[in-house]
Amino acid sequence: MEWLERNVPKFVLAPSFVAILVFVYGFIAWTAWISFTKSRLMPRYELDGIGQYERLFAAPRWDVAMNNLFIFGGLFIVISMVIGLMLAIFLDQKIRAEGVLRTVYLYPMALSLIVTGTAWKWILNPGLGIQAAVRSWGFENFTFDWLIRPEMAIYTIVLAAVWQASGFVMALFLAGLRSVDTEIIRAAQVDGIPTHRIYSAIIIPTMAPIFLSAFIVLAHLAIKAFDLVIALTNGGPGYATDLPATYMYAMAFSRGDLGQAASSAMIMMGVIFAIVVPYLYSELRPRRDQ
């Protein structure tokens, strides 16, 4: 009986543990293996060195995809956090109809990225959207054609992604702001400290864990960004807005080049590890003050 009591949790957890072992780590290992083979249409298992990685790094399209990841990821994370924080601070001023406004800002998150992408595709299309509208108001020379300019198109993706995610970041920060001890804020107010100082010196520093969470959530959204690109630009013009995820999809499913897809997937995983591992390390290490 006692034995059972001790072991029941293990039995209950075992199936999901096995499932994760096989379907997550097992397939990561499988992908890693495939990335070292000459697999094309179908997986082959004879190892063939690092040929796929050499091909990957020789492909100009992969360079574009990685560059785009850094441009998109960097801008998306920074801008979403800045806008999210601003919105949260403004909403935190005990304003009227806060509930309504909060919902308004959060709503984009409820949309699927496919919907966001399609809507922005129309909004940004020079002949249908903003440019056409402004021109029809009489500003004949107004130009806003980022969507069709290869060097600017990646920023349209940033724009749509920020629109989608900043409301969510706002909600995160708002929760953080509300969790700051009001006593400290009152004390500061009594001491006559101006509001912006209260925010910059007291509230924001105590919210450091929220920043970290927001960063991690946004970073993984950025790295796995796929549907937004597919809907908004489909990687175009040319392949100017390709991201590693769309590159991998093209290789695996359109071109019958599984080896390339596997090696690009491994690099993507490496990028994620580079971000997540330091985070886990900082979260999981024993706290010095405890």
Partner 1 sequence: MKSVLAASTAVMLAGPVMAEPTAEVLHWWTSGGEAKSVAVLQEQFAAEGGTWTDMPVAGGGGDAAMTALRARVLSGNAPTAVQLKGPAIQEWYEETGLADIGSVAEANNWAEVLPAQIAEHMKCEGTWCAAPVNVHRVNWIWGNKQILDEHGIAMPTTWEEFNAAAEKLQAAGVTPLAHGGQNWQDATIFETVVLGLGGPEFYQQALVDLDPEALTSDTMKQVFDQMRTIRGYVDDNFSGRDWNLATAMVMNGEAAFQIMGDWAKGEFLAAGKEPGVDFVCAQTPGEGFLYNVDSFAFFELDGEEKQQGQELLAKLIMGPEFQKTFNLNKGSIPARTDVALDDFDDCAKKSSEAMNAGAEDGSLLPSYAHGMALRGAPAGAITDVVTAHFNSDMSSEDAVQQLADAVANAM
CB of 129 to partner 1, least distance (A): 10
Q: Which of 75, 89, 171, 240 binds partner 1 (CB under 8 A)?
A: 240
Q: Which is nearer to partner 1, 119 or 126 (CB)?
A: 126
Q: Which of 255, 273, 278, 280 binds partner 1 (CB under 8 A)?
A: 255
Q: Which of 4, 47, 58, 95 binds partner 1 (CB under 8 A)?
A: 58
Q: Given CA atoms 198, 202, 207, 208 in this order, what sign does their dihedral have?
A: positive
Contacts with partner 1 by CB under 8 A: the residue count is: 34
- Report the alpha-carbon distance of residue 167 to residue 246 in Å, rounded: 26
φ, ψ of residue 179 in degrees (nearest 5): -85, -5
Q: Which is nearer to partner 1, 129 or 272 (CB)?
A: 129
| Interaction between residue 59 and partner 1 (CB under 8 A) | yes
CB of 150 to partner 1, least distance (A): 5
Nearest to 262 by CA among 252, 274, 250: 252
Q: Given CA atoms 86, 91, 97, 103 in this order, what sign does their dihedral have?
A: positive
Helical packing angle, 60-91 and 98-110, nearest 10°: 170
CB 143 within 8 A of CB 131: yes
| Interaction between residue 233 and partner 1 (CB under 8 A) | yes
Q: Which is nearer to partner 1, 9 or 60 (CB)?
A: 60
x-or-dash pattern for partner 1, window 106-145, by CB under 8 A? Answer: ---------------x---xxxx----------------x
CB 248 within 8 A of CB 264: yes
Three-state secondary structure string covering 71-84: HHHHHHHHHHHHHH
| Interaction between residue 260 and partner 1 (CB under 8 A) | yes
Report the SS3 class of residue 47.
strand
CB 166 within 8 A of CB 87: yes
CB of 111 to partner 1, least distance (A): 20
CB of 84 to partner 1, least distance (A): 30
| Interaction between residue 148 and partner 1 (CB under 8 A) | yes
**Interacting residues with partner 1 (CB under 8 A):** 40-43, 55, 58-61, 121, 125-128, 145, 147-148, 150-151, 233-240, 250, 253-257, 260
